[in-house]
Each structure stands twice: as C-alpha cells, then as structure tokens.
Structure 1
Amino acid sequence: MTLNWIDTTTLSFNALLLLERVQLTWLPGWLPEAALGTALHANPAVAWFMRHKCPEIAGWVDDVLARSAPAADAAAVRAAETAVLARLTDLLTYALDPAAYDAQPFLTWDSAELTGLTDFSGKRVLDIGAGTGRLALAVAARAAVVFAVEPVANLRTYLTAKARRLGFDNVYAVDGLVTAIPFPDGFADVTMGGHVFGDAPEAEFAELRRVTRPGGMVILCPGNNDQDNDIHSFLVAQGCAWGRFEEPGDGVKRKYWCV
C-alpha cells in the first residue's frame, strides 16, 4: 500500500540522523542512489553519521557519493532530499510521530483474531517487532507479563507510555530483532509477531521457536498477505495452521499459529 502516514515534503534531511543502526543496514538497494548522492553532498553531516553509526554501509555511502556530483542549486538539492525522504516514510514516522502510525486504519482489526487463538491467561508472552503495541496491548489484560521486543527506541518509548496510560504495569519494551531475540531458550509460553516475518524465514522461525517453551505457541498475526507464496508454503511446512482475516483499508491477511 502507498504510505502517507506523514508529510515527508516538510521534513529536514537531518531527520535521517534519527535512524537506528539496524535501519541503516536496510538502505542499500532501497533508496534512489542518484538522489541520495546529491543529498549527501549537500548534507555531509548525514553522510558522516551513516558511515559511523553503521560501518557496514560505509563503503556503499562512499560509492554513492563517488558516483554523484553536488547539485547546481538549492532547488535541485531539495528535490533530491525529498525523493529520499519519500522512500523512508515508515521509518521516519516511527522516529518522529509514532502516534501517526498507531492511528492507521489497518491496525484496527478485531483483536479476537489474536486472542481467540489461545488462552493468554497467566502466560509469559513475547511480542516480536512490537511497534506501537498492537499485539502486546491486545493480550496484556490476560497475560501475566508481556515483553515487547522492538528495535526502534522511539517506538519502545511510545509503547511503554501507552501501556502505562492504559493501566498495564506488566508490559515491558526491550530492544531486539526477530533474528536476535534477547531471551533464553524456552522462555515464553507464547511468542507472537505481526508484520515482522518473511525477510529470512528459516532464521526467523528458528529464533521464534528457540525462545518458546516446548508445548508453547508461536503466532504470526498477520504473518502474510493472502497469497499462496513462499512464506505461506514455508510456514505450512513447519506445521502451522492458518486462517484469514481483514485488515481495514489493506485487505485480507493470513495469520499462522503452531505449537
């Protein structure tokens, strides 16, 4: 879907200074490199930040700069900056205005699609890629404790404040990734995530299984678009059951669960 969560045309290019290290690793192959090179020539502090915050992409940054030249005028610079910022709408929303993301219609699906999959009462729950807390806060009233694993610091801050505002003192936001969940083997009764699975299915699923106790449940809600694609085939091959549900404004999605 087209993202229009915030108006990126009004943002300073310095907004990139708010990106997390892990987010910077995603940029090669994502951003329009000609525009990025022009923008970085005009914003050397951002180029410096990218190199030093995430040394893994330093060579790529240097290459982008080497293949571009400074713009002739301020209008050309701003056009390049705007092109780059537009591609980062989601990441910049998380950094600048998580409430705008939290208000998106596609997050208003019926929580019973999740809570009806298992009894969360008294359970120790991990929510991976927790974002603004859509899944974590849906189960917090029943669970004993929910650890919301989220790599973006501003989302963790937002989620924690929202949980306290709703009266939950059993929700804790922690840093981590779906491929590097910071909990020991067999820690959770239920491990869940939404819109987090699929970039590296084997590694991700192995990590979800690792932190879930024997007999515990792994839930991906949603875990996929409504397609018989490679992700679907992989999850079914792992023994996952699945079903469909509607995300308002974004269509039918598939959820997956397995013991």
Structure 2
Amino acid sequence: MAYNWIDAKDYTMDSLLYFDQWILDYLLRDQPDFEGDYQLTLGRALSRYPHVAAYCRNMSPARASFVDDALALASDDLSVLAAREAETEFLQYHETFVVYAWPEVMERVNYIADWDRKWLDELIDLKEKIVLDVGAGTGRLAFAAARDAKRVYASEPTYRLRDYMRARIKRGNRTNIKVVDGFVADLPFEDDTFDVVLSGHVVGDDYDKEISEMKRVSKPGGWLIICNGDDEFKRQAPNEELIRRGFEALRHDSPSGGIIYNYRLQLE
C-alpha cells in the first residue's frame, strides 16, 4: 500500500545508515509484494553506496549474502541515472521505514499531524494511571497520555525514535515519561505492571502473540487501548481480528478524509 509519506527523490540510500538491525533484517530479503525484481533493484540502489552495503553486512550478518548477491546482479556499466532510479524505487517502497530515520519528517505525516488527543480521551480516562505505550514512535500517544497519567513508559525498538522522544522530554522538562527499548511481542516488563497499555499501528503481525504479551504486562482489570492515527483511507468496517478477540470498536471521521476505528478491551 502506498502512503505517500515521502517523496523518495529527496532521500538517498544513506538513510539505511540509521536503521536498526531488525529493520535491515526485514529489508534485506525477498519482498513478495514488490513489483519487479527486488534483489536486482536493491543491488542497483546500493551500487553507488559501498559504505552502506558494508554497514548492512555488519549490522545484519544473516543477510550479508543477500546483499552480495544483489550487488552481483547490478552490471558494472550501470548508468548513474539507472542507479538513481533504482534507489528512488527502493526507498519509496520502504517509505514507512525511511521516516524512522527522520523523526521530524514522521511528525508531519498525516496520521500524527492530523490526530487529536480527544480520540484518546474518548477511549480511556488516564488520570493517575501507570501507562505503557507500545511502539511509541515519535511519542504521539505517550506525550498525550502524560498530561493525565501518573507515569508513562514509551517502549520503542527504533533507536532514532527513542532518541527523538528523549530530546522531546528534555526540551519540555517532562518528568513522568520514560523511554525504553522493546518490541510488542517481547516487552521488557514484569507481569501485572500497567493500568493501561496503549498502542497504535503496531498490532497485526501476530495478533495472538502480541495481544498476549500486552495482556501479560497489564494488571487485572486493566485496559488495552489501540488508538490509531488519522489518514485518508475509508475503512468499511472495524478490524475483524480485534473484534473476534473481544475489542470494542469506536469510529470517527478523520480530518484527512478517512474513516478511523479505535479499539479498547478491559481485562478481567
């Protein structure tokens, strides 16, 4: 799905130098949805960036052979124009990862820029609650929650986004937000820790595993909240996977033109 969050012509393969290992592990493998020869496109895109190729090998050793094979596919007489076209195609395809390298750009994406904290307030009362924001990104939910919550932990597996949130905390002299490393399916917290676990645009790769882990760190009677950002996509119905697992859906019209569903589930 194309989101048009960036114009890839404004970026280069140097963006990969800001990627964590887990991102490179994902990028440096076949992509079934890619139209064309993905490995050839990668090789052409990397052909003018030997330092980026070296970084990819070092950061993602399990994918080093994929990088080498990709480069071998790119002809020695590849033109600068053809290499640049491949670079732009690769980066546009992975636009949702490119913005991780540039948090200031991510903040301008409509799902953050057009979002209003009233949609979070509609879902849950956070006063005096201990809250976890899973996959916190630039802090959309974490900083909104911190206005009312007693304490907020922002779990984020991307170091560029963690650094960005920490800089926001320092600039705003915020004392009730703590940023930590962590994945939704492997959260670095003990059982029964949080009154509320928030997320947005995170759950979906493995519903059972991810939701189970969010439940594990929640207190009995606590809440799981999925508060999505705003966009232009007109969804026809709520997410069936979440509804089947007991979540209640709340709908609103986005200022971006889309139809948004948010979700909540109170635990026993």
TM-score, normalization: structure 1? 0.88
The 3 A distance-change label for structure 1 pair 105 and 15 is closer
Residue equivalent to 1:20: 20
Deviation at 1:67, TM superposition (A): 4.1
Percentage identity across aligned positions? 37
Deviation at 1:117, TM superposition (A): 2.1
Give the distance between the partners of 1:79 and 1:145, measured in 2 at CA: 47
SS at the partner of 2:51? helix
Deviation at 1:195, TM superposition (A): 0.9
Conserved in 1, the CA contact under 8 Å of 2:6 and 2:92? no
Deviation at 1:2, TM superposition (A): 4.1
SS at the partner of 2:242? helix
SS at the partner of 1:142? coil
Residue equivalent to 2:214: 208
Deviations along 1:169-220, one digit per CA (max 9) or x if unpaired, are: 1111111111111111111110010111111111111111111111110011
Deviation at 1:55, TM superposition (A): 2.4
Give the distance between the partners of 2:77 and 2:258, measured in 1 at CA: 42
Residue equivalent to 1:256: 263
Give the distance between the partners of 2:91 and 2:111, measured in 1 at CA: 23
The 3 A distance-change label for structure 1 pair 163 and 177 is same
Residue equivalent to 1:56: 62
Residue equivalent to 2:167: 161
Deviation at 1:13, TM superposition (A): 2.1
Deviation at 1:4, TM superposition (A): 4.1
Alignment partner of 1:245 is 2:252? yes
The 3 A distance-change label for structure 1 pair 6 and 239 is closer
Paired residue total: 256
The 3 A distance-change label for structure 1 pair 219 and 40 is same
Letter in 2 for 1:235: L
Q: 1:104 aligns with which of 106, 109, 114?
A: 109
Shifted more, 190-199 versus 244-253: the winner is 244-253
Deviations along 1:125-172, one digit per CA (max 9) or x if unpaired, are: 000111111111111011111011111112112222223434421111
Letter in 2 for 1:222: N
Deviation at 1:40, TM superposition (A): 2.7
Give the distance between the partners of 1:208 and 1:62, measured in 2 at CA: 39
Conserved in 1, the CA contact under 8 Å of 2:13 and 2:46? no
Letter in 1 for 2:111: F
Letter in 2 for 1:41: S
The 3 A distance-change label for structure 1 pair 152 and 7 is same
Give the distance between the partners of 1:78 and 1:36, measured in 2 at CA: 11
Residue equivalent to 1:80: 86
Residue equivalent to 2:119: 113
The 3 A distance-change label for structure 1 pair 158 and 247 is farther
Conserved in 2, the CA contact under 8 Å of 1:242 and 1:254? yes
Letter in 2 for 1:99: E
SS at the partner of 1:135? helix
The 3 A distance-change label for structure 1 pair 79 and 207 is same
SS at the partner of 2:250? strand
Deviation at 1:95, TM superposition (A): 1.1
Alignment partner of 1:234 is 2:241? yes
Give the distance between the partners of 1:157 and 1:250, measured in 2 at CA: 32
Give the distance between the partners of 1:46 and 1:109, measured in 2 at CA: 35
Residue equivalent to 1:34: 40
Deviations along 1:18-48, one digit per CA (max 9) or x if unpaired, are: 1111111221244632211122333333222
TM-score, normalization: structure 2? 0.85
Letter in 2 for 1:237: R
SS at the partner of 1:80? helix
Residue equivalent to 1:123: 129
Give the distance between the partners of 1:252 and 1:179, measured in 2 at CA: 28
Conserved in 2, the CA contact under 8 Å of 1:71 and 1:77? no
Unaligned runs of 5+ in 2: none
